[in-house]
Amino acid sequence: MTTPAPRPAPPADTAVDPSADDGCYRALQARDARFDGRFFTGVTSTGIYCRPVCAVRTPRRENCRFFTLAAQAEGAGFRPCLRCRPELAPQALAWSVQDASGILVRQAVQLLDAPEAWSTDDERGATVTRLAARLGVSDRHLRRIFEAALGVSPLQYLQTRRLLTAKQLLTDTPMPVTQVALASGFASVRRFNAAFAQHYGLNPTALRRGGTRAAGVQAATLRLAYRPPLDVPALLAFFARRQFHGVEWAGDAATPALRRTVRLQTRGAGGLQDHCGWLNAHFDPDRHQVLVQTSDSLYPVLPLVMRRVRAMLDLDADPAAINAVLHASFPEGDGLRVPGAFDGFELAVRAVLGQQITVAAARTLGQRLVERFGEPIATPWPELTRLFPSPAVLAQAPGEALGQLGIVRQRQAAIVALARAVDGGQLQLQGGADVAATTAALCALPGIGDWTAQYIAMRVLRWPDAFAAGDVALQKSLGVQAHKNPARAATQASLAWQPWRSYAVVRAWAAGSIASNPSATALELISK
């Protein structure tokens, strides 16, 4: 831990519940990675705050103050540790399905975490005003319940998120400071330098000189932490069984990596802009990290890339909370995650293609679609050669061309309608989107029903409580197929698993697959 001038102890109302302090200290002593991101420790003798996994000598108990958010620690005057790097910690997502204020705060946090919302046109409240309008409340009400729940204002939370992202980019990439500032949501280098100096007591260039990136390294290698356990082979097997050649490649236990081509679209002053390139995500299970390398073409959107990778690999899941609810029913699934999607539109098309057919058949159709409509792209790997077709391209795809690929008319109509809705901006397929409104909009499109909408909610919208009661494989795994109304019986059984029913579905699928083939790897034989 770097040692600036001592800081005063934080106000009591910003710290973790004192009743939990002893538990936090024991986790800190053990450097327990399961608690990474669930709290941060401010050390009053140094003025530094750390992750529970920090490798330095454990501070004295009386010098420790515990916080649930990095923004709380920074609001209390603590600076981030340069050794354990709080910006690497997985996010802590607290899910509520009953309390309206809790749901609103969670939605606000999700939107503030999204780099798409880090507007550079203002830094004095307009972002919060737009956020409140999107949530359907006044900005005054949003500020009140946000501060009551978290102890910091939405703007303070957003500023911490921007600064920690910038800190990671400065440390892990060769990006120029100007590019780091803009990518992190600052309107100018001047504002960025001022905010950095105010919060961290040094300028960005000084931080880069003292960073941990090896001298002479030119490529970006971003580190993304997760909480164990995580069944890496199962997760990679899931992606491997569904991969489209040219677009993605999934490794195995010997090469625990996932590679894919990338197209990201951002809106700026000049309109929509495409950022195309590639990424390579390599698992480091010993350190509970994923190491991500990208093409330099993606540098301007690296914060968005990091967020998408975290969602795709479900790195922010909290296994302790999930397993507390699900372990009794699915004792073999503690390390399973809900595989996400890097691109929401791509996953939605995959879901349409997979309706009522096997994974292998859906993969064949998707491969033909990529080869017919996907754009070529150069990458360092011969197995990555194409981008998945864009919404604009598929919105104009003639039915005859789709039919020649073996796609039936109902799915042709669904794909074209889906592409037009996304391309026209009527449908937002990304984490943080309103689940009820998005699933309703999906079901209003031709050829898309409840199963497809729930599947998209689970893997794209990152809704942890999605549940497709009509899924036949799920009903079979739960043993309710013989019921007069198996969907109702499945729903009734699922109530005990709220708010983690998405994880219950994945575990039920895996349990059913293993029961039919005991030698199979978990998720390897999942049908949907």
Residue 24 bears catalytic tag = no
Report the run of H or E that residue 216 belongs to, with start and end: none
Cα 301 to Cα 306: distance, rounded to the nearest angstrom: 9
Residue 252 DSSP one-character state: -
- Chain centroid to CA 7: how far? 33
What are the respective helix, strand and coil percentages of the chain, to the nearest 5? 50, 10, 40
Q: Are strands 48-50 and 79-80 parallel, antiparallel or unpaired?
A: parallel
Cβ neighbors of 282 (< 8 A, separation 6 or more) are: 256, 257, 290, 291, 292, 293
- For the chain, the maximum distance between any two Cα atoms, rounded to a whole number of angstroms, is 72
Cα 380 to Cα 385: distance, rounded to the nearest angstrom: 9
Query: Tokens in use for 321?
Result: 């909370």
- Return the amino acid letter for 93: L
The catalytic residue among 314, 316, 343, 471 is 471
The catalytic residue among 50, 54, 64, 84 is 50
Q: Is 31 left (phi over 0), alpha (psi -120 to 50) or beta?
A: left
HSE, CB side, 13 Å, CA atoms: give it for residue 238: 23
Contact 337, 326 (CB under 8 A): no
Query: Tokens in use for 86?
Result: 């709080």
Closest CA to 299 of 403, 392, 410, 172: 172
Cα 26 to Cα 301: distance, rounded to the nearest angstrom: 38
Give the chain's length.
528
HSE, CB side, 13 Å, CA atoms: give it for residue 98: 2
Residue 50 bears catalytic tag = yes
Cα 332 to Cα 493: distance, rounded to the nearest angstrom: 19
* Active-site residue list: 50, 471
